[in-house]
Structures are given as structure tokens and as C-alpha cells.
Amino acid sequence: MSLPHAILTALLEKPSSGLELTRRFDRSIRYFWSATHQQIYRDLRKLEESGLIHALPQAQPSRGQKREYEVLPAGREALTAWVAERQDPRAMRDPLLLRLRAAAVVGATGLTAEFRRHLALHEAQLAEYHEIEARDFPPEKTAEADRLQHLVLRAGIAQESFWVQWLTESLAELEALESRPDAG
């Protein structure tokens, strides 16, 4: 149920058309919640049918014109209730970890290269997050919304830092295993 809440959040930040929403997802929200354009449009329709958002009146009705949406009071109430809702952490599901577990049974041939590739991807993501932090969150930005959004980014930085550290340590272990005389 989180995609509708991500849409409500984005629309409360700024009323938008479906196209504008998909662009905003692609620029920022995708870092912590992914959605295809089709999913966004589907959920916009469902949110409108549920009475949580509505399309703003258009100056002149025209075929093919973008519909801009805003959140209704019921949508704000639903989002407020969801924010306060109790929810347990989700279990980590990462295919790389499952592949490592499988390698314990069938051997780790080819896994080192994949770990190096993953390390490079996580290092690049971490660098991008640090650039965003330097650009968008200078120390003088102290408004509540800025501080809360910065917490989201800091979670991403912490997660990428974890992966960089873990993959670096794991690569050292994999390389040590590969260099053993009985390896292979």
C-alpha cells in the first residue's frame, strides 16, 4: 500500500500531473521507492476513485490536456494515519546474498567478478548521495521538512556505506578463498 502513500506525499508537496509525478519519481523518490509510470497512473486513478485526490479544474477543457491532481482532506487524513501506523521492518531480500549462500553448495566460480561489479555500483550510488547531500542540504537548511527529507537521504547514505564496507570485506574473503591451493 506504500505507492499510494508516496503519491499522496508528492501531491501534498506540489499538485502535479501524472507526467510531472513520474518525472519527480524518476528524479528523487525512486531512490527509496520505485514505481513504473504505469503503476503511478493506475494508482492516481484509484486514489481519485477513492475520493483521496481530485483533478484540478482546467481553464479550458481540451482533449489530451494534462490533468493536474491535488490531495483532498480525506487524502491528507489517510496519509496522516498511515504515517502514525505501526509497521514491522521488512526482511532483507537480496539475490546477491542468496547467490552467496548457493555458492557455499556449488562453488563460488564467477562470484568475485559479480561482487566487484556490485561494489562499483554501490560506490557510485554512495557518491551520488553525497553530491545530493552537499547540494541540497547545507547546514543552514533547518526547516522541519528539510531535516526530515535529509533523514531519508542519510538512510540511503548509511545503506550504501554498509554495502560498500560489506562487499569490500567479502571480496577480500572470496579472493583469499580463490588463492588457496585447494580452491576450484
Main-chain dihedrals φ then ψ at residue 16, nearest 5 degrees: -150, 160
* DSSP bridge partners of 69: 16, 55
Q: d(Cα 147, Cα 152) in Å, to the nearest integer?
A: 9
Please tell me the predicted confidence (pLDDT) of residue 63.
65
Q: d(Cα 125, Cα 168) in Å, to the nearest integer?
A: 15
0.85 exceeded by the pTM?
Answer: no
State the residue for C-alpha cell 560489506. 166
pLDDT score of 69 more than 90: yes
Helices (H) and strands (E) in the chain, counts: 7, 3
Residue with more model confidence, 131 or 90: 131
Q: For residues 1-21, b (16+ Cβ closer than 10 Å) or e, as one string?
A: eebbbbbbbbbeeebbbbebb
The average confidence (pLDDT) of the chain is 91
In the predicted model, what is the mean pLDDT of residues 106-127?
95
Q: DSSP class of residue 88?
A: P
pLDDT score of 181 more than 80: no
Question: What is the architecture, at CATH level 2, of domain 2-84?
Answer: Orthogonal Bundle (1.10)
In the predicted model, what is the mean pLDDT of residues 125-142?
94
Q: Of 36, 43, 34, 38, give the one whose Cα is nearest residue 11.
A: 43
Calculate the CA 59 to chain-centre distance: 35
Q: Of 54, 55, 49, 52, give the one whose Cα is nearest residue 74.
A: 52
